[in-house]
Amino acid sequence: MTEMIKLFVNGEEVEVESGKNLIDALEKVGIEIPHFCYHPALGADGNCRMCLVGIEDGRPPVVPACKTLAKEGMKVLLDADNIKKIQHDVMELEFINHPTDCPICDQAGECKLQDYYMKYEGTESRMWVPQVTKRKMQDFGGGVIHDQERCVACGRCVRFLRQITRTGELGLVNRGDDCRVEFFPGRPINNRYGLNVVDLCPVGALTSADFRFKQRAWFLKRAESICHGCSKGCNIMVDHNKEKYEDDIIYRLRPRQNEQVNGWFMCDEGRMTYKLENDNRLEECTLAGAVRPLADIFADAERRIERATKVLFLVSPSASLEQLAAVQALAEKTGATVSAFSDGYIVKDDGDDFLIKDDKAANRAGVDLLGIAKSRTHFDNMAKEADVFINFGNDLSRSLSEEQIGRLFSDTWVLNGATHPGQLGAVMEKKVGSSIALRSWSEYHGVVVNCDGIAQKFVGGVMKNVERPDIVEMAAGLGSPATGTAAAWALVQKKIPALAEFGGFLELPAEGVKLTDNEAGK
């Protein structure tokens, strides 16, 4: 445990962690100090002056909280008249040239200027001189749109690109009221983490071209999830909304703080994976080419599994632990073989040392933990022997070409559970015996283990109009003993003792569970 120190805020004693600046330390105990330029990931800059607090009997009496370490016995004044005046005046300064075009600003609703205005200023503008006009709707590259008028020159975006990505595309040019964020002509934002500046921007100066004008922030429902784009397992917030008479769709993904995994950020590719969740999804379950109710397909498949001599299940390395365990249990019951062959999920030399990984599967570590074979030879051998092949959401078209798939399953009855069309190749899918449209990761709950062996829970908040089964339900429909997510979780706990202490996956801590090396690294 970190050492705790005692200090006084407005005369009241509070206990905070030592070694932190005042903003962070007091935030932990629920006391807010307003700030624009400070961001825990970027460090203190001290240029906005919004976080000035009074220190009683201190020298100097007024200090920026972002640069001041919390010390034992410190007497912090937040509600002194001079502090209130500072906050009020800083806000007034920020608003001198602010266009106040909240109606058309995407940040409205999650904008610090708005929040602080309501909290710390709330007065009408006294300005009568014309405002300084600057460029609006400037394309910064990388899907970032900049509005110079809304900028408060906090420099978070500049510091992110210099300190975190070390590409430094942006700079604060000019000075005084003419100060603005610009990229050097011809060198726009061009890196794989550029969209993080949109989240970092405390106001609406930087907005995402992708999300721009799609939805207002206050309509969006949030679901705490894990990015399934690669094996890093960045913590994300799924912002989705079901508009009247329409389907529930995701509008954007935002990073969620998790110091162990992704810090505060995520990559641009990961952000865009939401499009896969919305568009081009399989909707119908078919049996011999005809749309049929799910129960019929399950009954038919169950009969075929019983009659078959050799059955092969293929699971996706992105499936949650529960789903993998459910399929495993089904395999144990029916004597089938489970494979997690997914060589195509690994993209060589794509990853970097920050967040992006080569392996584009969200739960490969989990596959290993549950002891599911994934080698190509194993899969090939089994595929040749099998006369019934059931795919549980594995995008086989990534690993094998259409021809190869066709050759492997030329005389095999195939049940294809998939989220998107084309996962077995377009030609092959016309020939499959049955197909089931599955739920995707934004629509179910579960636990995945990332490349560092951290088991993390995720919640699927999206409720599509078309009812689809997830893999646990599909396995249960085919006769798996794990009839629900809870039963599957019990199976997972049997296989992975480190998770045994958690009654349900929701009890997993928010920062995830670091599985020990011998468990994770098997």
Partner 1 sequence: MAAKVKQLPSRGGTPAEKVYLIEIFKGMAITLKHFLRNLWDNSNLYVRHYPEVQPDIPARWRGRHRLLTHPDGTPKCVACFMCQTNCPADCIMIKAGTRIDGVTEKMPVSFTIDLAECIYCGYCVEACPEDAIRMDTGIYAFTSSNREEMKIGMTEMLSLKGGFPEEEYQKGLEGE
Partner 2 sequence: MSDRSKLIATGKPFKFDKKRDTEFEQLVKRYPSRESMVLPALWLVQEQESWVCQEAIGYIADRIGTFASKVYEVATFYSMFNLHPVGKYHICVCRTLSCWLRGKQDIVNYFRDELNLTPGKATEDKKFSLEEVECLGHCGSAPVLQINGEFYENMDVDKVKKLLATFK
Among 40, 58, 171, 481, binds partner 2 (CB under 8 A): 171
Stretch that binds partner 2, among 16-24, 180-188, 367-375, 384-392 (CB under 8 A): 180-188
Q: Measured from the CB atom, is 104 or 486 closer to partner 1?
A: 104
Among 73, 81, 124, 218, binds partner 1 (CB under 8 A): 218
Among 46, 168, 479, 481, binds partner 2 (CB under 8 A): 168
Q: Which of residues 181-200 bind partner 2 (CB under 8 A)?
A: 182-187
Q: Measured from the CB atom, is 245 or 309 closer to partner 1?
A: 245
Q: Show the tokens assigned to 182.
A: 């610009």
- Answer yes or no: are the C-beta atoms of 285 and 438 closer than 8 Å: no
Give phi and psi for 205, each to the nearest 5: -70, -35
d(CA 247, CA 351): 34
Q: Give the residue among 196, 347, 368, 187 at the shortest CA–CA distance from 266.
A: 196
Helix (H, G, I), strand (E, B) or coil at 76: strand
- Answer yes or no: are the C-beta atoms of 384 and 408 closer than 8 Å: yes
Q: Measured from the CB atom, is 192 or 333 closer to partner 2?
A: 192
Among 123, 125, 163, 174, binds partner 2 (CB under 8 A): 174
Stretch that binds partner 1, among 103-111, 333-341, 378-386, 435-443 (CB under 8 A): 103-111
- Contact status: 158 vs partner 2 (CB under 8 A): yes
- Contact status: 137 vs partner 1 (CB under 8 A): yes
**In the complex, minimum distance from the CB of residue 112 to partner 1, in angstroms, rounded to a whole number:** 19
Q: Give the residue among 456, 341, 318 at the shortest CA–CA distance from 389.
A: 341
- Contact status: 114 vs partner 1 (CB under 8 A): no
Site string for partner 2, 120-139 (x = CB under 8 A): --------------x-----
Q: Measured from the CB atom, is 139 or 259 closer to partner 1?
A: 139
Helix (H, G, I), strand (E, B) or coil at 238: strand
**In the complex, minimum distance from the CB of residue 147 to partner 2, in angstroms, rounded to a whole number:** 15
β 388-392/413-418 pair status: parallel
Q: State the DSSP code for 21.
A: B
Helix (H) or strand (E) holding 92: helix 81-96
The arrangement of strands across the sheet holding 235-242 comes to 221-226, 235-242, 248-255
Among 6, 28, 85, 212, binds partner 1 (CB under 8 A): 212
β 62-64/75-77 pair status: unpaired
d(CA 270, CA 276): 11
Q: Which residues pair with 52 in a beta bridge?
A: 64
Question: Where does this chain bind partner 2 (CB under 8 A)?
Answer: 134, 158, 162, 167-176, 178, 180, 182-187
Question: Where does this chain bind partner 1 (CB under 8 A)?
Answer: 101-104, 108, 136-137, 212-214, 216, 218-219, 243-245
